[in-house]
Amino acid sequence: MDLKGLYREIVNEHNLRPSHKGQMENPDLVLRGVNPSCGDDITLQLKIENGVIEDALFNGSGCAISQASVDMMADQVIGRSKEDAIKLAGTFMGMIKGDIKDEAQIEELDEAASLQDIAHMPARVKCAVLGWKTMQEMLEHPEKAENISTENA
Ligand SMILES: [Zn+2]
């Protein structure tokens, strides 16, 4: 399978069978992310304990790339510290914008690295980064996120 085929396969798999789509009970942080240019509209919910992301779920709708990207993101950030997750989001966005080309750094993204070629599709960049941007925003500025539970947040 060529690289393009692999990319399509991964996006399809996450889009059709997302592992992290749903409604969380008692999330600590909730933030909606919208990409009007495509119509992607997601709500990201995080469970945070002692500074570590214990769980991440999203709901909403959007194109295959936005949905697959946020699902891959949840895979990668569960179990990471907030700081680590913010750093990973920076790596992902740097890769998608074509600013980060270092392979060792990109490998940290694991499956999400398969979205690297989006860098050559400017119209899809906002779709790919939506979930990551939303997560970064809610972790860096928890006061903007809807704080459902005040403990641990
Ligand atoms: Zn989109």
What's residue 3's pLDDT? 62
Here the tokens at position 19 are 């592992």
Is residue 153 situated within a structural domain? no
pLDDT per position as a tens digit, 51-107? 999 999 999 999 999 999 999 999 999 999 999 999 999 999 999 999 999 999 999
Q: How far is the CA of 28 from the centre of ligand 1 (A)?
A: 26
Is residue 82 situated within a structural domain? yes
b/e per residue, 100-114, with b = 16+ CB within 10 A?
Answer: beeeeebebbeebbb
Is there a contact between 26 and 148 (Cβ–Cβ < 8 Å)?
A: yes
Enclosing domain of residue 133: 3-147
Is residue 125 situated within a structural domain? yes
Q: Which residues surround ligand 1, an ion (CB under 5 A)?
A: 38, 40, 63, 66, 127
Average pLDDT of the residues in 130-145? 94
Is there a contact between 94 and 133 (Cβ–Cβ < 8 Å)?
A: no
Q: How far is the CA of 36 from the centre of ligand 1 (A)?
A: 9
What's residue 153's pLDDT? 41
Q: How far is the CA of 126 from the centre of ligand 1 (A)?
A: 7
Q: How far is the CA of 39 from the centre of ligand 1 (A)?
A: 6
Q: How far is the CA of 132 from the centre of ligand 1 (A)?
A: 13
Is residue 52 situated within a structural domain? yes
| CATH code of the domain containing 139 | 3.90.1010.10
Is residue 152 situated within a structural domain? no
The number of domains in the chain is: 1
Q: How far is the CA of 50 from the centre of ligand 1 (A)?
A: 33
Q: How far is the CA of 41 from the centre of ligand 1 (A)?
A: 9
Distance CA 8, CA 114 (A): 9
Average pLDDT of the residues in 124-131? 96
